Copies of this chain bind each other. A is one copy, B any other.
Amino acid sequence: MSAPEVPARRQTRQRTAVLALLDELDGFRTAQELHALLRERGDAVGLATVYRALQALVDDGLVDVLRSEVGEAAYRRCSPVHHHHLVCRSCGRTVEVADPPVERWAARVAAEHGFADVQHQLEVFGTCRPCAAAQREDRLSGRGR
């Protein structure tokens, strides 16, 4: 009800830089990594601002966020339609994938147990071919232990 509540997002150098950087990267990156990359490239942006920009992008549905196993948040420019991810554990390379059956399954199993307001999260983790090859090499050289 009442006003549509659009706080009017303002266009600044910092927000533009964050989104531009995300557009060039293909995988999930943490806020700290993005902050370091921006600094290297010269587009210096405060860390707190990186966090705020990412949060805004997530709210706008332009960016997906994923929690790593150690609890850090990682961000990626994603398409706005519902999808899931196939993520490389070591380099972050990501492929967007869809699985229509699981959507129906989630809704059905939730209904069967009387759960409402259903959401689901499905992610697949693995090692992409280049990273697997690199790891094999490492093992062949000195890393016996």
Which A residues form the contact surface with B (CB < 8 A)? 67, 71, 73, 86, 88-89, 95, 97, 99, 101-102, 105-106, 109-110, 113-129, 132
- Cross-chain contact B106 with A124 (CB below 8 angstroms): yes
Q: Do A115 and B128 touch across chains, with their CB atoms under 8 A apart?
A: yes
| A126 with B117: CB separation less than 8 A | yes
Residues A99 and B105 in contact, CB atoms below 8 Å apart: yes
A106 partner residues in chain B, CB cutoff 8 A = 124
Q: A126 near B119 (CB under 8 angstroms)?
A: yes
Shortest distance from the beta carbon of A22 to any chain B beta carbon, whole Å: 21
Closest to A67 in B: B67
Whether the pair A122, B121 counts as a contact (CB closer than 8 A) is yes
